[in-house]
Amino acid sequence: MKKEVCIGLLVGGIFLASFLSAQDSPDWLRSIQLFQMFKGYFIQPCPILSSVPFTGQGWGVYFPNDLYEYTFLQEIASWHQNNRPYLSMGATTILYYDSAIGVPNSHRMRDLEGHEVEYMGCKRYTPASLAWRNFVKQANRRAIDLGVDGIQFDEGQVTPLLMCDWNAQPATFDSVTMVDFRDYLASKYTQTELLARFGISDITAFRFDEYIRSHGLQESWNKEPFTGLGAEFFQYLIAETRDYFRELRDDAKTYAWEKYRRPIVFSSNPCFAPEGYMLVDIMDYFIAEDFPFDPRDPFSYTDIKAIKGMRDWPVFVIPEPKEPGLPLQTKNMMRFLLADIYGAGGEMAFGEKLSEGILHTGANAIEVDFETFGRYARFILGHRALYEGLT
């Protein structure tokens, strides 16, 4: 999606006061970190943990899950014994396991033809569903009960983008979203305005999917730049996404504080796209995928500076180069990436290999030298004052 199309619709209203004040955020949030992703000591064990001094688990186990509780407790205890935070992964719209969850099937995302929208074989639910929201809240509370220090969300910016015509199944036209969008329009415009702007004579009987079909807009309703009801739907999806995360955040933070007197954090991966700017005032920080060596945006430096220019907060980078022709083994790659990220005031999140999070795009995982990585990481963490306060 062209960035310039999104910017005007998304940046308005994001320069709001931060949800957390200095006194109710955890101390580690104000210090330079190096986060691990996915790998652990008892869950997906990996030798990188013995070579690289990770300061916390920034993207851990997905909740809900079918893990044995004692296995997870062992994992989180291994991080906490050295005062390192552990963040679980929360559900955005995707259910990453196949199990009955008590959310009606009618609340799953659907395309214009009524087909269920999936993501790599996983079910996808509309954030407008109160049943789905309550399900995710309970999963988040369970993670908090087991001791997590925060919750990381993938694809926080994606829901509005699902309507774009470059998707295989532009969405979502499920019955829950259609009713919610109708109510959104009714609250935004008078009946006279609805008739004059969109030709809607009776908002109580309005359904966007039926409107598209009856007006012959199947091939044009979501062409960019968005116009008419397409633009309204995009703005509605932005508002719905913001409301979804705000509600989940407030529930989790209130629950953790009232029950355990423990501050927790909320973070998201917006891939440094302008579509993610709508979450700047809701999240405590971003852990975002970045694609170094891309000709259009070759370095993390510019993205880190842009995000930190909007708000003085931590910006974690997941480096995932996807340009063809890169060497599959290199020592200098990690030296460069560490310098690029930390020298710009950012922080790194890393699993085991470069680009392992984008294998579904055809990218190759790139092995790194753990000892080289660890040596440079120890220097940075041993000289935090050199890297803190950079803007």
315-319/329-330 β-pairing: unpaired
Least confident of 18-32, 337-351, 376-390: 18-32
Give yes or no for residue 384 having a pLDDT over 70.
yes
* Structural contact between residues 162 and 117, judged by C-beta atoms closer than 8 angstroms: yes
Which residues have C-beta within 8 Å of that of residue 215, sequence separation ≥ 6? Answer: none
Enumerate the β-bridge partners of residue 108: 125
Torsion of CA 243, 248, 254, 255, to 10 degrees: 160
- Of 148-152, 154-158, 331-335, give the range with the top mean pLDDT: 148-152
Question: Encoding tokens for residue 194?
Answer: 């609805």
Q: What are the pLDDT digits (tens) for 212-262? A: 999 999 999 999 999 999 999 999 999 999 999 999 999 999 999 999 999
Residues in contact with 292: Cβ distance below 8 Å, sequence separation at least 6, in sequence order = 298, 299, 300, 319, 320, 321, 337, 340
Torsion angles phi and psi, residue 30, rounded to 5: -100, 15
With 70 as the cut, is the pLDDT of residue 124 above it? Answer: yes
Distance CA 26, CA 10 (A): 29
Give the C-alpha separation, 369 to 391, whole Å.
30
Confidence bin at 322 (pLDDT 50/70/90) = confident
Are the C-beta atoms of residues 95 and 123 closer than 8 Å to each other?
yes
pLDDT tens column, 268-308: 998 887 888 899 999 999 998 998 888 777 788 888 998 88
The pLDDT of residue 275: 81
Q: Please enumerate in sequence order all residues whose Cβ is within 8 A of that of 74, keeping only pairs 6 or more positions apart, or say none.
A: 41, 42
pLDDT band at 25 (very low <50, low <70, confident <90, very high): confident
pTM to 2 decimal places:
0.91
Short-list 269, 277, 271, 274, CA closest to 290: 271
Rounded to a whole number, what is the distance in angstroms from the first to the last CA of the chain? 28
Domains and CATH numbers, the chain: 3-172+226-386 (3.20.20.80)
pLDDT confidence bin for 67, thresholds 50/70/90: confident
Nearest to 159 by CA among 276, 281, 288: 276
268, 276 Cβ separation under 8 angstroms: yes
- The Cα–Cα gap between 272 and 132 comes to 27
Q: Which of 110, 107, 109, 111 is nearest to 132 (CA)?
A: 107
Instruction: Tell which wins on pLDDT, 363 or 391.
Output: 363
Alpha-carbon torsion (203, 204, 209, 214), positive or negative: negative
pLDDT at 118 over 90: no
Tokens 């990996």 belong to which residue? 46
What digits encode the pLDDT tens for the residues 162-215? 999 999 999 999 999 999 999 999 999 999 999 999 999 999 999 999 999 999
What is the Cα–Cα distance from 300 to 302, expressed in whole angstroms? 6
Locate 192 and state its tokens: 């006279």
Taking only the tens place, the pLDDT of each residue in 253-268 is 999 999 999 999 999 9
